[in-house]
Structure 1
């Protein structure tokens, strides 16, 4: 008989915890198969264990009852017939007769001889059955005289015990002849029964293995049945995420998976309607902005002509050669001139933005000397005294000169307006890119504003709802960089000031389209993000 150590239980619990911890990272199919297999294994092992235990008890009890009944009968018939003080030969002969019963067990008889000494008689089977082969506890129980009562009519009883010797099970029993007779012990081998029980255990084990294999195959089939709709749902969700809003699932059945498919189809249909509605609204909004910009150009053209005349009159009056403006009216005239110019820039920027949103903006590429292009941009806007250029001549790239001029004008103009002079512009070549850096001499850009400087109409301060720029300059510059296949980044220099870095490929791809628009975004918009408002 073995004793289980408590430490084994703790180790088993730790192993089980580690198993389930690792199982969480496996596929759902494998988890279903394993869980189903574990349930089936538990059920099969439990059923096999119960069946084995019931059969074991039945076999042993049946054999035990038959042996004990035969031994008790032999003790009454043969041992009880011995004289009160038998001789050695009589005891030996009787033990041999008792061993020849149908159950074939070994017998040991202990009697008191004529001289008062113990007389032993053994059947001689099983290598000689001796008193030392009988457990001490069994001998004590057999020889203990019980008090005779109404419930206990005999002073001595039959006792038995199962023992194991050299891995062979035995049944040992003992009793005394009532009325003063010998004490008898019996030893019966249970090896045939043990072999039968081992065969039964093997059969149950094979049945358990087959049940486990069958449950694994069944679990695989069930997992396929369950996971197939889930797989289709995952594929449909990925297609929906890729923008294929017409994706739908085929619904069959009335179970939970079918209900899930219906819910997915309903959600996809609502999403498709919502996206279509939003796309329609966005398209209408773009068309409204484009139409409004075009409609404003006609009156703006007339207003621009008038304001040019008024501006000439102001300059003429300023030269002291006589003028027609009342001193009270002159500030209003100057305000009309500046606001008309600002409105004209805003309309031009809006038209440029609508081209980018509609995807109609195209490049007209030419071989450009980058340093010459920057110099021309600075000279055209009279920024020579405020800008320091560090550019090596001979750095060429295939770019759209007009769009590059728009980018440079916005970056440099922005730096002059918000950072102050001198503004340093440098040009370098890095691999297959042209890198242009524009650095100002100002306090830099606040960290919370940096991520939004290229947003349309972004307002960095709610207390300044109005500025001289339209809030679209840097956004248009970024769009022009993107259409070249480039990028603009903004950061603060460690020694102070903001740095805008423009990276453009020397030969953009795809090839340029020779169709170009008539106008570009207004240069020098000066919208670093201080007076913006929302994203359009």
Structure 2
């Protein structure tokens, strides 16, 4: 560390209860915190009351004992002849009662077994003269109170002088200690009785506090599940009522926003569907005209033939784009019903490759018949999109394999191209009009094939995924549930039930 540099001070994190015992449940934390606070308050209040009462009782007992001894000495002192003899000391000691000691110079009158509690400090304090001494001591039998005082004589002129007589009295504090023990038991029972009361009150408080929070959490889950009309009923004027009001305002604003977005989305889908439908007929007519132009251009120059061929290709691409847009608009609108049939998926895949003339570029992996309940038309479209995408963006041979895995059937399409781009997420490939590079913009595809395949897979309750194969290039896997437990319908012996109303929509 260089001179002048000061070590940086890290701010200490706030204290948190140890996780070993501090509960994670909010209700448990509220109950525990309430009980702890209530018990601490009850204990502090009881302890403070006990200490104050104990001090008051001890002081009052001590004051009464001192006043009693003073009164006895004031009453008996005039009856004693001075200087007193042994007999006078005995009479004075008898009047003071048990556990008392009276001394005068070398004479002593004593009675009781507790006189050994009189300490030398007490004797020295009394010997100093005009001083009333009180001392609390404890022996095997319990607490005692030692009271000591000299007897003073009053002269004619009113002045007091020491008579030389010293009086010591030991009083038992057992009754006072018994009273203190009773108070201690009452304090302990009070604190113990406060525990169940604190638990009951904590349960009531936690219920009143957490019930609105639970309703808010339930409403938030309903809101997340799509029930935008859910609302809370605020009660009271506290912060929880303000929170419920804020939630209602947020839900109302969200409902309006989502409703507007859904309306706009429906309008956009309707527009795409209308445009695609309106373009379909003129594009078909235009395709026929362009094919006639291509046929007539065979007798023309090479440039004319090239232009005619390019025009026909672009027209066909436009026709495929219109068909795909129309198909997606139907899928998005949920107007598509699956027509499941119990078929051999391997046979359907082979027909797809053969009818499109891809036999030379596609290798079909031989397999046993794989039965599944699927929509044949949508399976054909999905497989054609995956194989066509592999032929356009990969390199042959394209390998297609059909196999089973648990209760699913898998159609695996693998090309031998460079694989998926490193900077592209596999899920992005199924986005509409997604182009991984600028070269795809000039390809024959519409940019919607993989999107249509994804929606068709979801309609079946399946998935489609993409990755880069370690042995080859890009690999696409279409996974569909077999639904072999579904009984075929009675119409043709092979067709399954139409479950477009119950199958998962895109």
Shorter-chain TM-score bucket reads 0.7 to 0.9
TM-superposed CA distance for 1:138, in Å, is 2.8
Summarize the Cα distance change of 1:432–1:59 in structure 2 as closer, same or farther, 3 Å threshold.
closer
Q: Which residue does the alignment assign to 1:434?
A: 409
Task: Give 3-state SS (helix, strand or coil) of 1:157's partner.
Answer: coil
Summarize the Cα distance change of 1:443–1:140 in structure 2 as closer, same or farther, 3 Å threshold.
farther
Contact 1:423 1:439 in 2 (8 A): yes
Listed as ranges, the matches of 1:506-525 within 5 Å are: 506-507=482-483, 511-513=496-498
TM-superposed CA distance for 1:297, in Å, is 0.8
Q: Which residue does the alignment assign to 2:362?
A: 387
Summarize the Cα distance change of 1:253–1:295 in structure 2 as closer, same or farther, 3 Å threshold.
same
Q: Which residue does the alignment assign to 1:141?
A: 125
Contact 1:363 1:400 in 2 (8 A): yes
Contact 1:162 1:170 in 2 (8 A): yes
Summarize the Cα distance change of 1:98–1:444 in structure 2 as closer, same or farther, 3 Å threshold.
same
Contact 1:362 1:512 in 2 (8 A): no
Q: Which residue does the alignment assign to 2:491?
A: none
Contact 2:133 2:147 in 1 (8 A): yes
Matches of 1:192 and 1:403, distance apart in 2: 100
Task: Give 3-state SS (helix, strand or coil) of 1:453's partner.
Answer: helix
Work out which of the residue numbers 54, 57, 77 in structure 2 matches 1:56: 54
Q: Which residue does the alignment assign to 1:486?
A: 462
Tell me if 1:296 matches 2:279. Answer: yes
Q: Which residue does the alignment assign to 2:143?
A: 169
Q: Which residue does the alignment assign to 2:96?
A: 98
Tell me if 1:258 matches 2:216. Answer: no
Matched residue count: 467
Contact 1:372 1:393 in 2 (8 A): no
Alpha carbon RMSD of aligned pairs, Å?
A: 3.1
Matches of 2:209 and 2:176, distance apart in 1: 48
TM-superposed CA distance for 1:78, in Å, is 4.5
Listed as ranges, the matches of 1:272-421 within 5 Å are: 272-314=255-297, 317=298, 323-325=299-301, 327-421=302-396
Per-residue CA distance 1:81-139 (angstroms, 9 max, x = gap): 3644744x55444322222xxxxx621223323xxxxx432123xxx233x32234333
Summarize the Cα distance change of 1:449–1:215 in structure 2 as closer, same or farther, 3 Å threshold.
closer
Matches of 1:278 and 1:162, distance apart in 2: 88
Task: Give 3-state SS (helix, strand or coil) of 1:108's partner.
Answer: strand
Work out which of the residue numbers 89, 111, 114 in structure 2 matches 1:129: 114
Q: Which residue does the alignment assign to 1:69?
A: 67
- TM-score calculated relative to the size of structure 1: 0.78
- TM-score calculated relative to the size of structure 2: 0.82
Q: Which residue does the alignment assign to 1:10?
A: none
Tell me if 1:194 matches 2:177. Answer: yes
Tell me if 1:47 matches 2:48. Answer: no
Gaps of 5+ in 2: 1-14, 153-161, 487-495, 501-505
Contact 1:438 1:500 in 2 (8 A): yes
Q: Which residue does the alignment assign to 2:224?
A: 241
Matches of 2:263 and 2:111, distance apart in 1: 109
Per-residue CA distance 1:371-429 (angstroms, 9 max, x = gap): 33333322233322222221224333343333222222211222222220112222223
Summarize the Cα distance change of 1:264–1:58 in structure 2 as closer, same or farther, 3 Å threshold.
same
TM-superposed CA distance for 1:24, in Å, is 4.3
Mean CA deviation greater in 350-359 or 390-399: 390-399
Gaps of 5+ in 1: 1-15, 100-104, 114-118, 146-154, 318-322, 516-535
Per-residue CA distance 1:48-87 (angstroms, 9 max, x = gap): 3333233322322222112223323444564683644744
Contact 1:79 1:182 in 2 (8 A): no
Work out which of the residue numbers 465, 473, 478 in structure 2 matches 1:502: 478
Per-residue CA distance 1:194-226 (angstroms, 9 max, x = gap): 222332333444445555555544444444333
Q: Which residue does the alignment assign to 2:24?
A: 25
Mean CA deviation greater in 467-476 or 454-463: 454-463
Summarize the Cα distance change of 1:329–1:374 in structure 2 as closer, same or farther, 3 Å threshold.
same
Q: Which residue does the alignment assign to 2:133?
A: 159
Matches of 1:108 and 1:157, distance apart in 2: 17
Summarize the Cα distance change of 1:129–1:109 in structure 2 as closer, same or farther, 3 Å threshold.
farther
Q: Which residue does the alignment assign to 2:159?
A: none
Summarize the Cα distance change of 1:367–1:259 in structure 2 as closer, same or farther, 3 Å threshold.
closer
Work out which of the residue numbers 444, 456, 459 in structure 2 matches 1:468: 444
Work out which of the residue numbers 160, 164, 169 in structure 2 matches 1:181: 164
Summarize the Cα distance change of 1:498–1:137 in structure 2 as closer, same or farther, 3 Å threshold.
farther
Matches of 1:19 and 1:79, distance apart in 2: 70
TM-superposed CA distance for 1:480, in Å, is 2.2
Contact 1:109 1:121 in 2 (8 A): yes
Summarize the Cα distance change of 1:458–1:55 in structure 2 as closer, same or farther, 3 Å threshold.
same
Matches of 2:46 and 2:475, distance apart in 1: 79
